[in-house]
Amino acid sequence: MADLDLWKRRLGEVPDDVWDRTDLETLVLADNGLTAVSERIGALRQLRMLDLGHNALTRLPDAIGELVALRDFLYVHDNQLTALPASIARLTELRYLNLSENPLGHIPEAVCALTALRELRASGCALTALPPSIAGLRELRELHLRDNQLTHLPDELGELRALRQLDLRGNPLRTLPASLAALPALAKLDLRWTPQLEVPAWCAELAERGVLVYR
């Protein structure tokens, strides 16, 4: 496996010769003060893992959708992203996506097309709602939504039959959909720091069947 780790090198921008490394399967560009990533990234067709976290990116290149071998991880957390390119929807093998600490305001529809996702992290993204299309993430095992502005959740969350962990800490939730009570794989539901939430009676039933419910 060809790996390139350029973590915390104070690069400011990605050296052009990185885009010539078409054999790369892992590329770490985290914590480099990057403000942009070249469309040339689309040439890295063998990438399985890409880390762009802890930079100053305001957008991702459309060519990121050409990285169809990307399956292990995509980290774009702690940037300044307000949107994602629609081409992200082509990453249908991707299993882990970290969007946390970006001012997105919503979960893009393109993310809901990533049907192989097992873990989605979108903490601290100023989310006010979740799209009903999140139900398409049928392989999702972990959903991390800490420190957003969610007051309610869609009933469609109950369709995530593989979901094991749901982290809702630090949201101004008022209600929870009853569909969550029927999630067959749920093992952990974190409701801490949600002072406005009136915990439904079925949470006790979850606890009785062995689900860890934190409140």
Task: Tell me the two tokens of residue 81.
Answer: 């992203």
Phi and psi at residue 135, to the nearest 5°: -60, -20
DSSP, collapsed to helix, strand or coil, labels residue 68 as: coil
pTM, two decimals, is: 0.97
Domains and CATH numbers, the chain: 2-214 (3.80.10.10)
Q: Taking CA 44 as the corner, what is the angle to CA 37 and CA 7, rounded to the nearest 5 degrees?
A: 55
174-177: which pairs have CB atoms within 8 A and are 24 or more residues apart? 174/198, 175/200, 176/200, 176/203, 177/152, 177/153
Rounded Cα gap, residues 151 and 128, in angstroms: 7
Q: How confident is the model at residue 1 (pLDDT cuts 50, 70, 90)?
A: confident
Question: 71 in the Ramachandran plot: left (φ > 0), alpha (ψ -120 to 50) or beta?
Answer: alpha
205-208: which pairs have CB atoms within 8 A and are 24 or more residues apart? 205/181, 206/181
pLDDT digits (tens, 9 = 90+) for 141-175: 999 999 999 999 999 999 999 999 999 999 999 99
pLDDT digits (tens, 9 = 90+) for 40-53: 999 999 999 999 99
Question: 8 in the Ramachandran plot: left (φ > 0), alpha (ψ -120 to 50) or beta?
Answer: left
